[in-house]
């Protein structure tokens, strides 16, 4: 019995030692961070350029007591669904017209917290180096969601390839093409998948972010003019659940995204494809 008691006493002593050591480690960690834990802010984003831009401002937000956690998505639906369901505090991947359309169709209540940048949509090709060499009957891929398809068609019109019906609005599709003198064949594809079709079509109209992700910038034949109404209209935004626009952490996030540090990063990394909107 005495031996048993000694063993139990020894085990108890070891437990106390480990417990004290654990407490000491926690106190040291807390002390190392100044005794304050950072507030977690979860933001959904497409990988490029959005997640990269967010990654660049992490240190700025850490100085303000915010732990920015970036959740990457590769489509245009889940980031808004996750935000609406409360799984995210904000998202940064879309332009205003797309958000308006999404709210109307899905019944979500999401709002613009800040305008950040715009990406120039472009016409890309792996087969051509000059748009003037495009032949009659060529195959053309365009995004199939309402706002991006309209924007793609406007770029094709501005490039002299087609003519849209008078008064074609933000929901224009290939059915609104009034003149197609070269008998181009159009394929409508989900925006994120358009880059993958480039080897199978003659030209594709691709969103700037997806062109960046796919490494296709050297394949661009023509882009929107950054002074055009289309480019200015489709500004990429920081979106939040309606009512959260004035939350202090959201305002700090918006300020960081629109800071001089962020502007410099965007201009140096993305050149002519991504332009700041502030």
pLDDT at 133: 96
Residue 24 lies in a domain: no
Looking at residues 269-276, what average pLDDT do you find?
89
What is the percent of the chain with per-residue pLDDT over 90, rounded to a whole number? 74
Give 107 or 22, the one with higher predicted confidence.
107
Cβ atoms of 96 and 244 within 8 Å: the answer is no
Give CA–CA dist 96/99, Å, rounded: 5
Which CA distances in Å does 226 have to 68, 120, 148, 229, 240?
A: 30, 7, 16, 8, 26
Write down the pLDDT at residue 26: 33
Q: Note whether residue 26 is domain-resident.
A: no
Q: Are residues 183 and 263 in the same domain?
A: no
pLDDT band at 230 (very low <50, low <70, confident <90, very high): low
Q: Are residues 156 and 174 in the same domain?
A: yes
Residue 271 has pLDDT above 90, yes or no: no
| 143 and 199 belong to one structural domain | yes
Asked if 79 and 46 sit in the same domain, the reply is yes
Structural domain span for residue 162 = 122-223
pLDDT at 231: 65
On whether both 217 and 137 belong to a single domain, the answer is yes
Residues 102, 49 share a domain: yes
Instruction: Say what the pLDDT of residue 19 is.
Output: 40
**CB-count exposure of residue 263 (10 Å: 0-12, 13-18, 19+):** middle
Provide the number of structural domains found in the chain.
Answer: 2
Residue 132 lies in a domain: yes
Pair (44, 169) in one structural domain: no
Q: Verify that 107 and 128 share a domain, yes or no.
A: no
Domain assignment present for 130: yes
Question: 140 and 112, same structural domain?
Answer: no
Same-domain check for residues 145 and 104: no
Average pLDDT, the chain: 87
Kindly state whether residue 30 falls inside one of the protein's structural domains: no
Res. 4: pLDDT tops 60: no
User: Which residue, 223, 243, 258, sits at the end of a domain?
Assistant: 223
Question: Is residue 74, in this structure, part of any structural domain at all?
Answer: yes
Helix intervals (H) in 130-278? 146-158, 208-213, 229-233, 248-257, 260-270
136 and 97 within one domain:
no
CATH number at residue 72: 3.40.190.10
| Residues 176 and 104 grouped into a single domain | no
pLDDT digits (tens, 9 = 90+) for 155-196: 999 999 999 999 877 788 999 999 999 999 999 999 999 999
Q: How confident is the model at residue 7 (pLDDT cuts 50, 70, 90)?
A: very low
Q: Per-residue pLDDT tens for 33-46?
A: 455 699 999 999 99
Query: Is residue 201 pLDDT above 70, yes or no?
Result: yes
């Amino acid at each position: 019995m005495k031996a048993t008691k000694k063993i139990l006493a020894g085990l108890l002593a070891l437990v106390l030692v480990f417990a004290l050591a654990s407490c000491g480690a926690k106190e040291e960690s807390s002390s190392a961070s100044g005794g304050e834990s950072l507030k977690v802010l979860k933001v959904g984003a497409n990988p490029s350029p959005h997640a990269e831009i967010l990654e660049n401002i992490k240190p700025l937000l850490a100085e303000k007591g915010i732990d920015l956690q970036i959740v990457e998505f590769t489509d245009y639906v889940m980031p808004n669904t996750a935000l609406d369901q409360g799984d995210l505090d904000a998202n940064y991947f879309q332009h205003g017209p797309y958000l308006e359309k999404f709210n109307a169709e899905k019944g979500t209540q999401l709002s613009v917290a800040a305008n950040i940048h715009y990406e120039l949509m472009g016409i890309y090709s792996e087969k051509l180096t000059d748009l003037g060499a495009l032949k009659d009957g060529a195959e053309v891929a365009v995004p199939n969601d309402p706002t991006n398809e309209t924007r793609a068609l406007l770029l094709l019109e501005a490039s002299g390839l087609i003519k849209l019906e008078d008064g074609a609005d933000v929901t224009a599709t290939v059915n609104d093409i009034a003149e197609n003198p070269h008998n181009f064949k159009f394929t409508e594809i989900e925006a994120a998948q358009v880059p993958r079709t480039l080897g199978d079509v003659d030209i594709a109209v691709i969103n700037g972010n997806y062109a960046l992700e796919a490494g296709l910038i050297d394949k661009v034949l023509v882009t929107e003019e950054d002074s055009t109404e289309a480019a200015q209209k489709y500004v990429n935004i920081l979106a939040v659940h309606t009512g959260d626009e004035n939350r202090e952490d959201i305002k700090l996030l918006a300020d960081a995204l629109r800071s001089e540090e962020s502007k410099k990063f965007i201009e140096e990394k993305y050149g002519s494809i991504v332009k700041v909107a502030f």
